[in-house]
Amino acid sequence: MSKPKNAFEVFQFLDKSNCGECGEKTCLAFAGAVFLGQKKVRRCPRLSSEILERFGDEPDATGSGETSPEDRLEKLKSEITRIDLAEAAERVGAEYSGNKLTLKILGKNFSVDAKGNLTTEIHINPWVAVPFLSYILFGQGLPVAGNWVPYRELRGGRDGYPLFQKRCDEPMKRVADLYTQLFDDIVHVFGGKKVDKQFESNISVVLHPLPKVPVMICYWLPEDGLDSSLHVFFDEIADRNLDIGSVFSLGTGLAQMFTKIALRHGFDARA
Ligand code: SF4
């Protein structure tokens, strides 16, 4: 059979035990990841060979047949037309009025209507639009736990951690080293907040790319001949409010955005 037309088409065949063996915290998140082409259906060990055959061989997020962010965005928009947006707004802590679901991304309004149309006060990039829609469709809307963990400790994050460091921590560190105003921008332009220094860092800021998926950036200045360092942390429940591919996208998207901002101010932090 061809690829699933929507996440429900996959979900209906899952055993709904939320056992986590596929690397996702819930069967719903797994169904979403299969639908988006980020996971192969065979990653669920509880499916019969008949069902596996039925879905054929979808591309894996890490394989060469990766679905483009633009394709994923279109798929998610079509999926939005199938859900009750008012119910979704309640689940994920968004506002619902005028047939639109609205929530804050980096302090700015970002909305979707029942036809999947997006409206926003910021530029619509797939790196932010895909996680936004995925959060609405598949997130559990759990309250933030308050325990910060690196990407590798999120479910499904271990394998992709070296790439996450390369595309998120390292470029952000280069920006922070050159463009010292970065952390003030995070606070003033993106609605971030300086917090008590964590893990003995010199600067710690928290920002909210999605309401229940906060991100903490910690920066250590050079000291005693040691180079500076920067690490990005997520709340430990991030992997239940958002699929791991979207968490990756948020981290790497933020790094790209900060690199562009620094460049605009005359600081070239590109590798
Ligand atoms: S492996 Fe994943 S999809 Fe399969 S039953 Fe467990 S949580 Fe659900």
> For residue 245, with 0-12 CB atoms within 10 Å meaning exposed, 13-18 middle and 19 or more buried, which class applies?
buried
> Ligand 1 within 6 A of 22 CB?
yes
Question: Residue 57: what pLDDT?
Answer: 52
pLDDT digits (tens, 9 = 90+) for 138-182: 999 999 999 999 999 998 898 889 999 999 999 999 999 999 889
Identify the CA nearest to 127 among candidates 252, 35, 36. 252
Q: How many angstroms separate the CA atoms of 187 and 196, rounded?
A: 14
| Ligand 1 atom with minimal separation from the 45 CA | 1
Whether 265 and 271 have beta carbons less than 8 Å apart is answered as no
Q: Give the ligand 1 atom nearest the CA of 46.
A: 4
Does the Cβ of 18 fall within 6 Å of ligand 1? yes
Helix segments in the chain, DSSP class H: 7-11, 27-35, 49-55, 69-80, 85-92, 126-138, 161-164, 170-178, 182-188, 238-241, 244-264
Ligand 1 atom 8, closest CA: 27
- Regarding the beta carbon of 70 and ligand 1, being less than 6 Å apart is answered no
Report residue 136 as tokens.
Answer: 């609405």
Closest-CA residue to 55 (of 78, 29, 34, 24): 34
Packing angle, helices 170-178 and 244-264, rounded to 10: 20
Nearest residue (CA) to ligand 1, atom 4: 44
Cβ of 243 below 6 Å from ligand 1 = no
pLDDT at 121: 84
Using most ligand atoms within 8 A of CB, pick from 8, 16, 24 the residue to mutate for ligand 1. 24
14 CB less than 6 Å from ligand 1? yes
The pLDDT score that the predictor gives to residue 193 is 93
Residue of 21, 48, 58 to mutate, ligand 1, most atoms within 8 A of C-beta: 21
Q: What is the pLDDT of residue 112?
A: 97
Q: Name the stretches of the chain with pLDDT < 50.
A: 58-65
242 alpha carbon – ligand 1 mean position (Å): 16
Q: Bridge-partner residues for 150, per DSSP?
A: 233
Name the residue of 11, 27, 35, 38 to mutate for ligand 1: max ligand atoms within 8 A of Cβ: 27
List the beta bridge partners of residue 154: none
Q: What is the pLDDT of residue 197?
A: 80
Angle at which helix 27-35 crosses helix 126-138, to 10 degrees, equals 140
Segment (H or E) for 115: none
Residue 53: what pLDDT? Answer: 79
Average pLDDT, the chain: 88
253/260 Cα distance (integer angstroms): 11
pLDDT of residue 2: 60
Query: Residue 220 pairs with which residues in a beta bridge?
Result: 229
